[in-house]
Structure 1
Amino acid sequence: MAFSPPFCRWFVCFFWLGLVAQLQALSFNTVVLDAGHGGHDGGAVWYGLVEKKLCLDVTQRVERILKAKGMKVIMTRRSDSFVALDSRASIANRHSKSVFVSIHFNANRKTSIHGMEGYYRSASGKTLARSILRSMDRRVTGTNRGVFNRNFKVLRSTNMPATVIECGYLSNRTESKRCASPAHRQAIAEGIAAGILATRG
């Protein structure tokens, strides 16, 4: 059977779209969750909110969601303890077929800045960051500021798809009020978890 040129063009287009989707899928069975800061490192402190506490709260929420979906989850910290960046990367690198997601909240002297951001260093990390930000954007009140290439220690020292997710600016009064709400933090966690699962091939 002969196909007309328009049909062939559409066939080739869909074939390549499918191939690209497959290439962007990540193969993993373990998620390493990293709650930013901890111990003597409090992170950003604005309007009575302490970043390290929010990071741990959201990370534990993500853990519960992923475990309910049958995923194996590794936590770099489970309490208010300080874990060096090298140690966080080392914990992650012990687990093959994994992805690494570090959860933070942001701050800036320019308090009008607000929104969620994702950081990556590798192509696979970019795929992960984009998926999480898209998923958060559908669930969380706030602005998706996009994903950015950064040379952060935990990104360059981990040997799996890795991203740092900034869940909002505590320095922005409106966003800080949202982040104080457990319901808002649950929405953040649901967005992060869904974004992680969406990348799984």
Structure 2
Amino acid sequence: MLTLRTSPASPFGRKVKISAALLGLSDRIEAVPADTNDPEDSLRRQNPLGKIPALILEDGEVLYDSRVIVEYLDHLAGGGKILPAGKDRFTVLRQQAVADGIMDAALLQVYEGRYRSADRHEPKWVALQAGKVERGLAYAEAHLSTPAPDLHIGHVALACALGYLDLRMGGTWRETHPRLVAWLADFEARVPAFAKTRVTA
């Protein structure tokens, strides 16, 4: 049994869970909650960065971050399932990078509000991260919002990014990105794991 150290709200952990479902590997993975703020949590011994997700293999080796974990899961499933070979691979990886960047910038905005008191918030920093999210969404609306016959990791990452914006940013992106709204509805209809991994708090 593989052990996934994550938290229910982590968009990167969600990316791994949905990938595992698409690859038919969900029954081989046990999700174990991790507290990144707790110095006593074994996560810091499993991943020296103390970050989630981390995947503990059956031989005790640990893989991180989500991109490496997904690569491993695709390999475990036979390869070329959600990470294609050849030139197309780089298009897919770029799409994953855009979506991961949206998630990173959104997380940094959340952390600013969570770990700094209101009088210590840095508006320029928040605006910088918000700009990354908005540019990423604009790119996705223009270039990534057409449903594809075969799903890959770029699609999974984008769905998780949009889901995280729904969770932490009130879904305001929906007002100005109608093609992405339709795209996400199509993804959810095709991937039951998206609804199964949704959290509301």
Q: Name the TM-score, length of structure 2 as normaliser.
A: 0.30
Greater fraction of residues in strand: 1
Larger RCO: Structure 1 or Structure 2 (Cα < 8 Å, ≥ 6 residues apart)? 1
Whose Rg is larger?
1
Greater fraction of residues in helix: 2
